[in-house]
Amino acid sequence: MFMCTRTALMLMLLVEAGLFYAASLLHAGVVLGGYMHLRAATAEAVIGTILAVGVVFCIVRPGQTPQVALWTQGIGLVGTLVGAFTIAIGIGPQTLADQIFHAFLLTVLTVGIVLAWEIWHRPP
């Protein structure tokens, strides 16, 4: 049995929030040493919180789930693009793991945005 689209979008937001929180903990030095970058940790915590708040909004306003998912993931995508840009110009974290993780996040967020857009504009 397939889960409903609203549940799928909320689950996607929740997983994305978890990914950003995990990255934040890593960059804060909580998980492992050697990856500390406090500005990245702060940005990732903010983006994770925006996505988590999006889940709450989806619960409170279920009819608005695609729009909430679209906007919160859009904000997450912009923030991740800023992070990728800081890596590219040399002021962000410079590890290969950071580069791979940012590419992964950009992919996941883009897929989520496309999914939310498709669901929002699907005929009833």
Reported as a single tens digit per residue, the pLDDT across 21-64 is: 999 998 888 877 766 778 889 999 999 999 999 999 999 999 99
Task: Kindly list the distances between the CA atom of residue 30 and the CA atoms of 41, 89, 110, in Å, as whole numbers in the listed order.
Answer: 10, 26, 28
* pTM score of the predicted model: 0.90
The pLDDT value recorded for residue 8 is: 92
Instruction: List the Cα angle 79/61/4 in 5-degree steps.
Output: 85
Give every CB contact of residue 121 below 8 A, 6+ residues apart in sequence.
none
Contact (CB, 8 A) for 54 and 69: yes
Give tens-digit pLDDT for 99-116: 999 999 999 999 999 999
